[in-house]
Structure 1
């Protein structure tokens, strides 16, 4: 899960006033599973219950994070990408996109996007950068594609390749066609040589405990999420050149190879725009 949700009324300029600590929230529960401290009793209670329903949920979260590291390292080190648009950022933790990219190429530029007030409060942790590079943060919803692209252009050069990162975020768009359309609009705005890095919660007959955990979350947490089959997840990469090993469990994704690991309920892939 990530922190990106659908549009919400923004009645206050102060993000702290938009935070409800009495209701479990996906960004904080995710942070709890990753061993972070930016969570509350309501988040831990629901997080523990979900872990009883789906004991592998902690590895699910860690596998998604490793997938990000593998993908960003490969794009930066092997493919020469120097620009990243990371939408649905979530709460800062170890090895954020700019940290991974700038370790390899200090001149890398990263724009983070999230509409979650919880993430906004912590956004300063995402704004550190090497002297040669740059990071920025936009308070936008995933569906606000025009606003994202317009504002990101202040930091990113859209005449050069950009890696669009959507980890655990399109799960919050229930309608399939709407979610595919959002990804297409964003990729259409990027030049040849750009990449899509996407991960998504799966539903599978082999993982019934995941379905039970998601159903429990949707009754008790916010925002609600949608699962998709691996085949439906692969559709996000239509028209792109899918990098090996394809759309697979995030625990097994490695550029050009499959890691030996147990499948988790988060699948991901990387595709290149021709």
Structure 2
């Protein structure tokens, strides 16, 4: 069989049984991320982009794992130490180990979680995972339209906007181009949160003159992502800090993911990618 026929047969196998609306001819952010996390819900086009990214940043898989570890630490802190009992995970991606509801509901089984993503495959897998969980749901919506997200009837059914909320935006704003006004999106979402809520984000960062080699890697990765996915921005620390508005940043501030309240046993090599993926958590006064 020719290589072309082999590729065609593989593509047909991958598409078999897929729900409508899933385009396997174009890479998806959530599926590329799934590949980095050794998941199985990705396609050839996603793996191709991921492998190109690995040639620029060989530790990209470690970065994806660091992001999940950061999420776990943040959710545990918000649920156990800050008393947050409802979470909105915007741009949640495909279900994997250590999902938000699993972490929060170990602390309080009544904690409510709404996952939000624009990829239909996330909706399909999320609903299957949550079929028996009455306090957690998943909705399909686009972060570029925050008003529609906030007005979604299912979200409003699960989340009480008169009580503090943990809004999670991990690896989402760096996939929103400047023309789509990520600052305005963040502001609309911040404004909707009641006092005592928390905003947690992780984003790609270009450290500029602070680390010229890491900055060079960031520019190369940005070029790759935009050429193949049409999205991807490594922003400055000043730009990223602006996304939090006047919220009060928790210690240790906006830092490389592994430096945000590490736990015993956490390990991370301080490679170039270490300095180009940062996160922080802030509280609404």
Provide TM-score, normalisation by structure 1: 0.86
Matches within 5 A, 1:37-56: 37-56=40-59
Q: Secondary structure at the match of 1:80?
A: coil
Aligned residue for 2:92, secondary structure, equals: coil
Q: How many residues align?
A: 257
| Residue in 1 that maps onto 2:253 | 246
Structure 1 unaligned runs (5+)?
A: 1-13
The answer to which structure, 1 or 2, has the higher relative contact order (CA under 8 A, 6+ apart) is 1
Match of 2:277 in 1: 266
Tell me, in whole angstroms, the C-alpha distance in 2 between the residues paired with 1:191 and 1:227: 30
Q: What stretches of structure 2 of length at least 5 have no aligned partner?
A: 1-16
Partner of 1:139: 140
Match among 223, 231, 240 for residue 238 of structure 2:
231
Q: Which residue of structure 2 aligns with residue 170 of structure 1? A: 173
Contact 2:176–2:232, Cα closer than 8 Å, also in 1: yes
Structure 1 residue 231: Cα displacement: 2.1
CA distance in 1, matches of 2:18, 2:190: 30
TM-score normalized with structure 2 length: 0.83
Preserved contact between residue 218 and residue 224 of structure 1 (Cα < 8 Å): yes
- 2-structure distance, mates of 1:167, 1:161: 19
SS in 2 for 1:267: strand
The alpha-carbon distance between structure 1 residues 100 and 118, as it changes in their structure 2 partners (threshold 3 A), is same
Q: Following the alignment from structure 2 to structure 1, what is the Cα–Cα distance between the partners of residues 116 and 133?
A: 19
Flag the 1:260–1:34 CA change in 2: closer, same or farther, 3 A: closer
> Are 1:245 and 1:255, in contact at CA under 8 Å, matched by a contact in 2?
no
SS in 2 for 1:193: coil
Q: Following the alignment from structure 2 to structure 1, what is the Cα–Cα distance between the partners of residues 218 and 158?
A: 39
Secondary structure class of the residue paired with 1:244: coil
The separation in 2 between residues aligned to 1:16 and 1:232, in whole angstroms, is 38
